Each structure stands twice: as C-alpha cells, then as structure tokens.
Amino acid sequence: MGIINLKSDSNRQYGFENMDDCCIYSLNDGKEIIQSLDFFTPIVDNPYDFGRIAAANSLSDIYAMGGIPLFALNILAFPSDELPIEVMSEILRGGLETCNSAGISILGGHSIKDKEPKYGLVVTGESGKKGFIKNSGAKSGDHLILTKPIGTGIITTAIKKNIATQLQLDEVTKIMSELNKRASEIMVDFGVNACTDVTGYGLVGHLNELCNSSDVSSNIYFDKIKFLSGTYELARAGVIPGGSKRNLTYYEKFIQFDRNLSSFEKVMVADAQTSGGLLVSCSKETYSDLLKALSKEMDAFEIGEIVNKNKMNIYIK
C-alpha cells in the first residue's frame, strides 16, 4: 500500500493506516458503516465446508471490530470447464448457510472463470451502541485473551499431504467454520480496550500490529497458548506451510524469543491462520469475568499481557 497514493476522503474515519481489520466510513446522518473483503482458494476438499469456512473468515473482520454485519456479496472464481457445477453450488450453499447463521443476507455478488476455485465475501456492517473496537487501544496492564486455539495452517498443510488424521480434519474444519459472532458480542458487552482477529499473519503478526497501533509491547507465554491436536508433532516433523515460514521471517525482528524455544515452536506462533479467533486486550478489572463468560461458550484462554513500550513489541517466554 505504501507505493499507492490513496486519495483522502473526509468521510473516511478509519482505514488502512493502522492495519486494522476493516475500514470505517461516516454517513451524513452521523451513522458509521464498516466494510471488509476476503477470499481465498480451498483449504479443505469438501466444497460445502470450504464455503462455510470462507464465509466465516470474511465475517470475522467485522466481528473483530465489534461491528454488526448487515449484508454480504459473494466473490467467486470457478473453473467451469474442469469441475462440475454441483461443486460451485455446494461452495455457495456453505457460504449462504454461514451467513444465515450470522443473521444476514447475501444480496448479490460477482463470479469469473478461473483455473482454480476461489471464494469469499464482501461484508458491510454497522457499529453497535458502544461504537467500534479498534486495534489501537491496548493499555499497559491489559490481559490478552484468544478465543480459538491456533494451528490451522499446519493442520491444513497436513491435510494436503494426506497425513492428517480424521480427528484432526474434523477438529480444524469445526474451528474454522465457527463464527466469531458470540465472542464479539460478549467482548462488546463487557467492554475491552482493543481487538483484532488472528488470520493470515499468524498470532505474532496480528499481535505486532496491535502493539504498533497502541504504542505498547507484550509478554506472551508459550505454555499458555492452546494449539489444535497434532500441531506440535506436525510442526516438529517439518509440516509447515510456506506462509507461516514467511510470517516468522518477517516478524521475528519485532520479537524476543525465550532461548529455550525451538525453531519449530517459533514457527507455531507465526502459523498462518484461517478464520482464527479474536485476540482481545482487556483491563485487569474486566479480565476474570470476561474470560469466564467466553469460556462458557468457546475454548477461550489467556496468553499474556500488555506492558509499557519496550525495545521489542513481543516477548515470548
């Protein structure tokens, strides 16, 4: 984005500057709308599951900012000469059912012919009664909570290599298909200082953006991070996607790792996620009750805390 001279707009309240999850646009009546776009190639073989996962991933950016989705548009690329039309129908059915679960309609979209399938959504939303939650409000002393275990990049790579177990396939499909709707609603009710979702840049990438935007640093405890079943063993065996390796290569200059952490454990915290959980920064007064409320409905857990700005953005212990 740095080489593109984007025209400023007086109605644009928030955009790409802080690497936040969505853009915010003010309407003339004082209301604000929020919008995001995401799409990608299949990461599971089942087209219906692919549609569900892609839609959940697209909606996640809205939920990460405490927004309320209003409607969506489909984005579809499909090799109609190579795959039967039933495959496309199943992808779209999966996306539609996820949007139904989110309580929104798909009002249209656009499709093109391409060499491989790609699917996702443009999602438009609005702010709730408490406004939007940005990634720039984290404060020293905050606790960091993650609402889903990580490891989807490593597990889906194992699936592509045909070495994943059925249990791992079922677990990763379930996790990636789950909406962040309830996590968002709960954090908005309690009030939090900052939030982002953990997706393609991995845990350390999105945490780094949050630290930069908030002008703080963070302490993360590796032993507190929950990983999907088999992630540790697969990473140790070298089953690591290229995107996760690139994440670590880029972000490690902002991280101080404990000397006892192995090279594959470092990649695990940089693993590129699909439809990952929300990374929430909340005050110590809110933390206990918020974590208790989240844990009643999902596998939420604390991973560390925010500290005053230091030489590095992230310290992993």
Mean pLDDT of 211-232: 98
Residue 1's pLDDT is 41
Residues 89 and 214 in one domain: no
158 neighbors 98 (Cβ within 8 angstroms): no
- The reply to whether 21 and 98 lie within a common domain is yes
* CATH code, 57: 3.30.1330.10
109-134 pLDDT, tens digit per residue, is 999 999 999 999 999 999 887 889 99
Q: What is the phi/psi pair of residue 274, to 5°?
A: -120, 130
Are both 282 and 253 inside the same structural domain? yes
**What distances in angstroms separate CA 258 from CA 221, 222, 301, 316, one per listed residue?**
10, 9, 21, 6
pLDDT beyond 70 at 21: no
Average pLDDT over residues 59-75: 97
Compute the chain's Rg from CA coordinates: 19
User: In this predicted model, what pLDDT tens digit does every residue of 89-115 receive, in sequence order?
Assistant: 999 999 999 999 999 999 999 999 999
CATH code at position 213: 3.90.650.10
Residue after which a domain boundary falls, among 127, 155, 189:
127
Q: Which pLDDT does position 23 carry in this prediction?
A: 82
Decide: 66 and 131 in contact? Cβ < 8 Å. yes
Tell me the average pLDDT across 46-56: 99
Total structural domains within the chain: 2
End-of-domain residue from the set 98, 127, 156: 127
If you average pLDDT over residues 54-79, what whole number do you get? 97
In a domain, 147, yes or no: yes
88 in the same domain as 121: yes
d(CA 47, CA 45): 6
Task: Record the pTM.
Answer: 0.92
Domain match, 88 and 179 both: no
pLDDT at 63 > cutoff 60: yes
Query: Does residue 149 share a domain with residue 92?
Result: no
Q: Cβ neighbours of residue 181 under 8 Å, at least 6 residues apart? A: 59, 63, 101, 102
State the average pLDDT for the chain.
94
Q: What confidence tens digit (pLDDT) does each residue in 180-194 have?
A: 999 999 999 999 999
Q: pLDDT at position 4, please? A: 43
Partners of 124 in the beta sheet?
35, 71
- Domain span at residue 257 reads 143-316
Q: Taking residues 223-238, what's their average pLDDT? A: 98
Q: Tell me which of 127, 161, 189 is where a domain ends.
A: 127
Does the pLDDT of residue 25 top 90, yes or no?
A: no
Is residue 156 located within the same domain as residue 244? yes
Q: What is the pLDDT of residue 11?
A: 54
**Do 119 and 153 share a domain, yes or no?**
no
Interhelix angle 47-64/166-177, nearest 10 degrees: 40
